[in-house]
Structures are given as C-alpha cells and as structure tokens.
C-alpha cells in the first residue's frame, strides 16, 4: 500500500472512532457537570444524547451533500466542526451554551460518520476492503474504551478538561486535507452518471432491500443500548455491585469485538455476507438469553464476549450491504440513513425497555430483547441474501446471479483488489 494511501487509511480509521467517542467521553464527568451546573438528571442526560438526535435528524441532508460534492471537502469540514463544537466544553460555564455546543458536535459527527464510511467503501475493493472494514470495527471498539479513559483522566482535574479530547477532530481535519484524495474532478461524473434516487423516500422505493438493513441497524441501537442502560441493575439483582465488575462486561465485549474485527477478512474469505449476518443475530440472541436467565456472574461475562463476537462481524457486514446496494451516486444518502436508524434506536431504547422493565423486571426486558433478535434471525434464515453488485465495482462478488435471490458460496477472498477515490 503506497505511503499516501496508508496515511489516508490511518486518518479515516482514527476519524471513525469519533462517533462512538462523542457521547462516551462525557460519561465519566456527567455527575460532576450535573452538580456544578445545578441541573437534574434528565437535563444532564441530554449532554450525552443530544448529539445522537442531531446525527439522526441531519444524516439525510449530510448524505445528499456528500453525494453531490464528494467526500473530501465535507469530511474535512465535519472533522473541524466536530473538534470545535466538542471542545467548546472547555470554556462553557452554563448549561444552555454547553447544550448548544453538543448540537454543533452532533452536526460534525453526522458528517464524520457518513464521510468516513463512504470514503472507506470507495477507496478499497475486494479482500483489501474486507481487511479495512475489519480494522475499522476494531478501531471503533478500541476508541470506545480509550477515549473515555483519557477523558476521565483529564476530567479528574476539572470536568471541563474532559472536553479537550474532542479537539482531536481539528488536527484530523487538517490531516484529511493533506492525505485524502481530491475527488473534485469527479463532480462531472456525478452529474452525468447513473440516475440518482433523489432523496430518502425515492431511494427506499428504488432499493427496498435497504429497509431491511436499516431495520437491523435500528435493532442494533435499540437492543444493544439496553445493555448499557439496564445491565448494572441486572447485575445488582444477582448480587454484583462493584463498578469494576460491572465494567468487565464491556471490557469482555470490546476485546472480543476488536479481535473479531482483526480476523474479519480471514472469516469473510470463508463465509458469505448472509452467513455472517445470521451468525451475528444468533450471537445477539444467545447473549440476551444468558442475561435473562443467568444468576451467575461468569455467564454474564460469557454473554459480553458473545455480544462482542456478533458486533465485531455485524458492523462491517451491514456497512458493505448498505453502501453497495444503491448506485455509487446515492451511497452518501444510503449510508447516512443507517446512522439515522442506529441513533434513533439508541435514543428509543430507554423509552421502549424502560416501561417494560419498570412493570416487570430487567430479566424480562432482556428476554424480550432475545425474542426480538431471535425473530430477526428467523427472518434472515428464511430470506436469501444476495451480495449487491455496485456500479462502481463491476467485478465485485455477487452471491448468486445478478438479479437473483440465490446465495452463493463463492470464495470472496478471490476477488480483485482495486483502489479508487472516496466519493
């Protein structure tokens, strides 16, 4: 891999960690913010969730912007907006200003989420893309552990210090100017290329299979966020109260997800996207069943590892399915809607599971999550899944003949490797 392309990959992988960092970096100092600004728990919670709502709302507009102008310029701007909006917490002294800065952060994060995904899908082909998608899954997982630790250390001096980690978006934006290929010369091809879907509704009408993939992204946000919110209560019910023991669930999940991301290309060389998708849903189902029935702490850690295995494989699979289903001219819109689906699921998770758990128990809530994931698995098991052939990659692997629903067991590792430009 040429030095410039390697540098571009490093920038994109680091930028990919920023979306998961957006909310996680504030968690260690949230109670300090609540106390210092004299706000209640609900208002404090908005400091964590506001960016997700903005990503969900702004995503479709961001996608159309990237489809029209390419990746490089919007991504550079998004990284800088992310860095400035996020780090504004260093100097804010009142709640309205802090909340406004989180909205700005969300706008930048929306561009970063879609821009990094589209760039990686466009730059890499074949088995090289499989490796990069796995590395991205690993980088995102590790970022979800490292950034909160760094923010927590800086927040030990003052809660304002935790917001310094967001400033990393600015140097990444500058690096993106230097290393990402300039796709401005492709604007003419964009205007004269394949017919665009013309917006979210028309996109879904033209590519109805996207609805299924977005449904899985929503389920991912809905179900998996329930563990972040309600697992401590479940552990307290079986006599586990130590914050360290509670955190080991996330550590187990993250470590397995990181390893499975590193091995993704090798696994992908032996299994089709459909098989990996079904396996991931089976992992979710098993994990939630364990959380629902177990009264033994070691099995909780097993559940965390099972979740990590499923998540480490699911994210790159869905990213490819969503990014390659539409024309390359609509890839930005398609990718942005996946972020909308996921963050809507995350936001809705406490609203869906909270009343149910309040009326029954946490174990019942996790049992319902297991049923939802199991139902999704059954639907996928009964549905032939064809790897989409994207117009930008006419030699890409297809599970079955073009236009058919038959799934093939062809070796994806034998696909050609080609590099392109983001956009």
Comparing 4-18, 234-248, 315-329, which segment has the lowest mean pLDDT?
234-248
Q: Which helix (H) or strand (E) holds 93?
A: none
pLDDT of res. 192: 43
**Mean pLDDT across 220-233:** 86
pLDDT digits (tens, 9 = 90+) for 331-359: 999 999 999 999 899 888 888 898 999 89
pLDDT of res. 422: 43
Domain parsing of the chain, residue ranges: 1-192, 207-411
Distance between CA 413 and CA 423 in Å, rounded? 24
The neighbour count for residue 350, using CB atoms within 10 Å, is: 17
Q: Considering only CA atoms, give the Rg of the chain.
A: 21
Phi-psi region of 384 (alpha: psi -120 to 50; beta: other; left: phi over 0): beta
Same fold, 1-192 and 207-411: yes
pLDDT for residue 397 is more than 50? no
What is each CA distance from 391 to 203, 269, 325, in whole angstroms? 15, 22, 9
Distance between CA 51 and CA 110 in Å, rounded? 9
Residue-averaged pLDDT of the chain: 85
Residue of 95 and 182 predicted with greater confidence: 95
Distance between CA 262 and CA 265 in Å, rounded? 7
pLDDT digits (tens, 9 = 90+) for 250-265: 889 999 999 999 999 9
pLDDT digits (tens, 9 = 90+) for 119-169: 999 888 888 999 999 999 999 999 988 998 899 899 888 899 999 999 999
Burial (0-12, 13-18, 19+ Cβ within 10 Å), 300: buried
pTM of the full structure: 0.82
CATH number of 1-192: 1.20.1250.20
For residue 195, what is the DSSP state?
P
pLDDT of res. 416: 38
pLDDT for residue 394 is more than 70? no
pLDDT of res. 189: 45
Distance between CA 406 and CA 388 in Å, rounded? 12
Handedness of CA 73, 78, 79, 80 (dihedral sign): positive
Comparing 14-18, 171-175, 287-291, 398-402, which segment has the lowest mean pLDDT?
398-402
pLDDT of res. 3: 58
pLDDT of res. 413: 38
Residue of 385 and 187 predicted with greater confidence: 385
Specify the fold of 207-411. Growth Hormone; Chain: A; (1.20.1250)
Closest CA to 283 of 243, 238, 253, 239: 253
In sequence order, what are the residues at sequence separation of 6 or more whose Cβ sits closer than 8 angstroms to the Cβ of residue 10? none
Distance between CA 232 and CA 423 in Å, rounded? 42
Hey, which bits of 190-278 come out as E strands?
A: none
Distance between CA 268 and CA 316 in Å, rounded? 10
**Mean pLDDT across 413-417:** 39
pLDDT of res. 232: 86
pLDDT of res. 125: 84
């Amino acid at each position: 891999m040429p030095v410039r392309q390697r540098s571009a990959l490093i920038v994109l992988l680091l930028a990919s960690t920023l979306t998961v960092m957006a909310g996680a970096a504030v968690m260690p100092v949230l109670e300090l913010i609540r106390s210092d600004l004299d706000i209640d728990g609900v208002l404090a919670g908005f400091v964590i969730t506001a960016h997700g709502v903005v990503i969900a709302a702004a995503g479709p507009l961001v996608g159309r912007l990237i489809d029209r102008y390419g990746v490089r310029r919007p991504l550079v701007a998004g990284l800088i907006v992310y860095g400035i909006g996020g780090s504004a917490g260093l100097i804010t002294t009142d709640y309205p200003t802090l909340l406004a800065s989180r909205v700005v952060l969300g706008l930048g994060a929306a561009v970063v989420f879609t821009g990094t995904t589209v760039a990686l899908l466009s730059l890499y082909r074949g088995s090289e893309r499989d490796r990069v998608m796995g590395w991205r899954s690993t980088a995102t997982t590790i970022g979800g552990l490292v950034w909160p630790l760094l923010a927590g250390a800086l927040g030990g001096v003052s809660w304002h210090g935790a917001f310094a980690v967001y400033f990393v978006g600015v140097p990444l934006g500058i690096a993106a100017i230097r290393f990402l290929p300039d796709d401005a010369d492709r604007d003419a091809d964009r205007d004269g290329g394949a017919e665009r879907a013309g917006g979210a509704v028309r996109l879904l009408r033209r590519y109805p299979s996207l609805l299924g993939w977005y449904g899985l992204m929503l389920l991912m946000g809905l179900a998996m966020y329930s563990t972040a919110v309600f697992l401590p209560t479940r552990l307290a019910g079986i006599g586990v109260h130590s914050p360290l023991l509670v955190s080991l669930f996330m550590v187990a999940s993250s470590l397995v997800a990181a390893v499975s991301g590193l091995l993704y290309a090798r696994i992908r060389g032996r299994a089709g996207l459909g098989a990996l998708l079904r396996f991931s849903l089976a992992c979710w189902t098993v994990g939630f069943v364990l959380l629902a029935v177990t009264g033994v702490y070691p099995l909780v850690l097993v559940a965390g590892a099972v979740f990590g295995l499923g998540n480490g494989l699911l994210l790159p699979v869905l990213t490819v399915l969503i990014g390659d289903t539409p024309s390359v001219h609509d890839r930005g819109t398609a990718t942005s809607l996946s972020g909308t689906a996921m963050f809507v699921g995350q936001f809705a998770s406490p609203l869906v599971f909270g009343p149910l758990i309040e009326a029954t128990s946490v174990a019942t809530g996790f049992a319902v999550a297991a049923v939802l994931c199991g139902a999704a698995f059954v639907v996928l098991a009964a549905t032939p899944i064809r790897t989409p052939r994207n117009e930008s990659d006419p030699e890409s692997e297809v599970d079955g003949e073009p236009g058919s629903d038959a799934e093939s067991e062809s070796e994806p590792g034998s696909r050609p490797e080609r590099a392109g430009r983001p956009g």
